[in-house]
Amino acid sequence: MESHYSNPVCTPSRAALMTGKYPFRTGRQESVIEGFQPTGLSINLTTLPEELVKLGYQTHMAGKWHLGFCANEYLPTSRGFQTFLGIYSGHTDYYSHLRGAGDYYDFFDGEHVAIEYENIHSTIVYGERAVKIINGIGENKRKKSKNEKPFFMYLAFQTPHSPLQPTMRSFNRIKSTANQVRDVHSALVLDMDYAVKKVVRALKKNDLYRNTIIVFTSDNGGTVKHGGSNWPLRGNKASLCEGGTRVPTFVHAPFLLKKQPYINKRLMNIVDWMPTFLNLAGYNGNPSLKLDLDGIDQWSTISKDKISRTEMVYNINSKNGAIRVGDYKLMFGKSLDKTGWYDLDLGVAQCINWIDKIPLSEEKKAIYKECFSLFWIKINNLQIVLNLS
């Protein structure tokens, strides 16, 4: 999907995915939910998993929630997901699962603290949880159990969000370049690749592959200072430029797509997934009309390359906004002035600290740090030049 759009940062995108509505209509348009901010996705809103449960689906989530946890009614298990394993906030240490500078432990199974996953890389945990769920579904299918139901799984990997902490297995398999931050970022992506590979294998093993639609997308563009790249698009995460909002997306359904394989250049927004999924699941009527959604059913666009959407809103908040109509885009606000995304987000990120977080002996950590040291000196010198200029 060459023209698939999300929002510039994660909370608004996740709110749009879960509700099928633009964030400016749900109160989630400004920015991300901070660590102890007493708010969340409004409980008056109907969510995608809630509607799928009504249609007889079982619903599962593993990964990053980031839509509020200040009260039980904001938790994923209160918003339509029957199982949940992961983090409530925006980012944590991949191994210790501590938020920020160790403010609190953020890793939960359902509504209970899951301390047993401490020192296990979160990407590995999420992949294994997905495989376990799929194996259970396959077992029920083989036994023709009364509990057999179609399933929806929201697998929201934390990677490659900061802090940059890949596994050593992946980092050792990445070809070293002059850009060490990019190498660490690439290793994080490889961690996710391994997890996705396990999920696909589990689907095939349990005879669920042929009838499963896999959608891969992102909640915002890459962060350049953390090794991401949006080239040739202008902009960065947190920017309404194309690089901050037009995200890598593909749909994998080889036994269900009418046209394949091909590159789809039709306009699509993250709000479209809710009505698309609901119609595929057998929703009675038009969910966009019945549920007052901004999203539209895009299955004919995806499956047959037909035009369904010609305009969309990127976002509108108190600082900026953008809209696209056909091939024209209108932007206004702070993202166009001299203190734009390039001043805030092009500084070099310190990435050597991730080695301290890995559960290895001090001797092994010292070896890895030595490999980084010469490069790190060069980077610090570069950063001083950039700051002085």
Burial (0-12, 13-18, 19+ Cβ within 10 Å), 335? buried
Predicted pLDDT of residue 356: 67
161 is catalytic: no
Task: Name residue 267's beta-bridge partners.
Answer: none
Residue 60 appears among annotated catalytic residues: no
Per DSSP (E only), the strands in 164-261 are: 214-216, 250-252
Question: What tokens were used for 309?
Answer: 């959407």
Res 224: pLDDT: 85
Catalytic residue among 10, 60, 91, 241: 10
**Which among 4, 60, 66, 121 is annotated as catalytic?**
66
Q: How far is it, in rounded angstroms, from Cα 116 to Cα 362? A: 23
pLDDT of residue 354: 60
Beta-carbon contacts of residue 258 (< 8 Å; ≥ 6 apart): 303, 304
Give pLDDT tens digits along the chain (389 positions).
999 999 999 999 999 999 999 999 999 999 999 988 999 999 999 999 999 999 999 999 999 999 999 999 999 999 999 999 999 999 999 999 998 767 799 999 999 999 999 999 999 999 999 999 999 999 999 998 887 899 999 999 999 998 888 988 998 898 888 777 888 899 999 999 999 999 999 999 999 999 999 999 999 999 888 889 898 998 889 899 999 999 999 999 989 999 989 999 999 999 999 999 999 999 999 999 999 999 999 999 999 999 999 999 999 998 899 999 999 999 998 654 444 555 555 444 455 556 666 666 777 677 666 555 444 444 444 443 333 32
- The pLDDT of residue 73 is 97
Instruction: Quote the pTM value.
Output: 0.89
